[in-house]
């Protein structure tokens, strides 16, 4: 889709911002350029829509040499979002969004329809928001408008320069989540610049780590975390890269499913037999598989006869399979639990996540872990 070939940018003052980089970006891919300030990430981004002209090299979009064409036409077909948003204060929200469609000479009816559609897409009521001016919106709302303005003519490519950088952390998270959902439906080819590794890990299909105008590493987020190309990347990822991986792995992928369980109506004697295999704790379910509680080995001696339900603890921690391991770990720490049950929306036991499984996952290369996970052995 986008192909940068041996691109360099040397500014008139002699500063080489981008030093001979090449990059291939696939259609529908979200590529994040990351690095500290001055690494050339923004310059690289702006060369794609020719806000900055490269000093050397070639840029192709769908096989067409961008540098030979008309930059105005090029830009109208590429969405562009910047941190400061750049909404025009003298135009209403609707007028701001309508700008590029107008430049492309769309009909009024088509523009109106599109504006309403876009506002709804980001949860803004057209009846309320369309006629407002930018200063009447909150920062988060303004940035939503900034994003949909760039989407106005449905360009196949979006360039985003730290679009969420100026927002407070809560709004930023919110917009990132919305943005991911949006991207799942619109499937644009996106080049996204940030200096925030957490943001990159969260959003990127591929991360390009840049330093002093060069690409140090270009890989999927997990690969960057697992195998940083060099010390700079390792440092940039941060000392907590192990923890960061946890937010990238879903509970579903990490849970142990091959586990021993107790039935609530089973006898305590039978339970004792199971515990004799070396377990310290077991999840209790009913005959339909719904989680009812848990029993620890020490509870076995409280009552000698009767069903397991008499000794089971009903206050248990659980998590959905699509949450991240980070959330699972947070829960485990909060509840001081050695493991938590993974349940579906009906409460059916799907498996468990234990500190053990976390340790295995982030301690060894991720792919090798799959299938290796064994029966529950809570310590």
Partner 1 sequence: MKFLKYMALHYDKIGHLLLQHVRVTVISLVLAAIIGIPLGILITKNEKAAKIVLYVAGIIQTVPSIALFGFLIPVLGIGLKPAVVALVLYGQLPIIRNVYTGIKTISPAQMESARGMGMTGFQILRRIQIPEAFPVILGGIRTAAVALVGIAAIASIVGAGGLGDLIFEGISSVNSTVVLAGAIPAALLALAIDYVLGVLERSLNPMPTMKK
Residues at the site binding partner 1, with contacts judged by CB under 8 A: 49, 51, 72-77, 80, 82, 84-91, 99-100, 103, 133, 135-136, 146, 149-150, 159
| 77 vs 355, beta carbon nearer partner 1 | 77
CA dihedral 358, 363, 369, 375 (to 10 degrees): -50
Per the structure block, which two tokens stand in for 335?
């509840």
Q: Give CA–CA dist 261/29, Å, rounded.
A: 43
Question: Cα separation of 317 and 15, whole Å?
Answer: 56
Q: State the nearest-atom distance from the C-beta of 62 to partner 1, in Å.
A: 17
How far apart (Å, rounded) are the C-alpha atoms in residues 214 and 160? 20
* Shortest Å distance, C-beta 90 to partner 1: 4
Spell out the alpha helix ranges (H) of the chain.
41-48, 71-76, 93-103, 108-121, 126-129, 139-150, 169-186, 197-203, 221-226, 231-237, 241-248, 251-254, 268-275, 325-335, 355-363, 366-369
Measured distance CA(318)–CA(34) in Å, rounded = 36
Q: Confirm if 78 and 21 have CB atoms less than 8 A apart.
A: no
CB closer to partner 1, 163 vs 213: 163
Least distance in angstroms from the C-beta of 142 to partner 1: 11
Residue 203 beta carbon to partner 1: minimum distance, rounded to whole angstroms = 20
Closer to partner 1 by Cβ: residue 150 or 254 = 150
Nearer to partner 1, 90 or 287 (CB): 90
133: exposed, middle or buried (Cβ count in 10 Å: 0-12, 13-18, 19+): middle
Q: Which is nearer to partner 1, 86 or 365 (CB)?
A: 86
Least spacing, CB of residue 100 vs partner 1, in Å: 5
CB of 207 to partner 1, least distance (A): 23
Q: How far is the CB of 138 from partner 1 (least distance, A)?
A: 16
Q: Which is nearer to partner 1, 90 or 288 (CB)?
A: 90
If the CB atoms of residues 87 and 378 are measured against partner 1, the closer one turns out to be 87
Give the Cα separation of 339 and 313 in Å (integer). 14
* Cα–Cα separations (whole angstroms), residue 298 to 113, 282, 301, 302: 66, 11, 6, 8
């Amino acid at each position: 889709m986008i192909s940068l070939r041996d691109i360099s940018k040397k500014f008139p003052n002699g500063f080489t911002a981008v030093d001979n980089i090449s990059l291939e970006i696939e259609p529908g891919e979200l590529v994040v350029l990351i690095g500290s300030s001055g690494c050339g990430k923004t310059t690289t981004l702006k060369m794609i829509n020719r806000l900055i002209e490269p000093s050397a090299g070639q840029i192709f979009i769908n096989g067409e040499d961008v540098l030979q064409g008309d930059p105005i036409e090029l830009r109208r077909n590429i969405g562009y979002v910047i941190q400061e948003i750049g909404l025009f204060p003298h135009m209403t929200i609707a007028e701001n969004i309508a700008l590029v469609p107008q430049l492309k000479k769309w009909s009024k009816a088509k523009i109106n329809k599109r504006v309403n559609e876009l506002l709804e897409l980001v949860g803004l009521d057209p009846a309320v928001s369309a006629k407002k001016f930018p200063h009447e919106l909150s920062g988060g709302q303004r940035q939503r408008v900034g994003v949909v303005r760039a989407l106005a003519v449905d360009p196949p490519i979006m360039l985003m320069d730290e679009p969420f950088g100026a927002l407070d952390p809560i709004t930023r998270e919110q917009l990132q989540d919305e943005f991911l959902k949006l991207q799942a439906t619109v499937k644009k080819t996106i080049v996204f610049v940030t200096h925030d590794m957490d943001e990159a890990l969260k959003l990127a299909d591929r991360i390009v780590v840049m330093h002093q105008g060069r690409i140090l590493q270009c890989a999927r987020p997990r690969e960057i975390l697992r195998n940083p190309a060099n010390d700079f990347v390792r440092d940039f990822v941060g000392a907590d890269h192990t923890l960061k991986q946890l937010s990238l792995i879903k509970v579903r992928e990490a849970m142990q499913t091959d586990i021993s369980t107790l039935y609530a109506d089973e006898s305590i004697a039978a339970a004792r037999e199971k515990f004799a295999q070396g377990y310290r704790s077991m999840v209790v379910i009913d005959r339909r598989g719904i989680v009812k509680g848990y029993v620890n080995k020490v509870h076995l001696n409280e009552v000698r006869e009767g069903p397991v339900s008499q000794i089971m603890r009903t206050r248990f921690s659980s998590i959905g399979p699509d949450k991240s391991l980070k959330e699972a770990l947070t829960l485990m720490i909060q509840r001081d639990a050695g493991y938590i049950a993974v349940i579906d929306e009906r409460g059916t036991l799907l498996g468990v996540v234990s500190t053990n499984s976390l340790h295995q996952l982030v301690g060894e290369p991720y792919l090798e872990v799959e299938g290796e996970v064994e029966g529950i052995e809570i310590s």
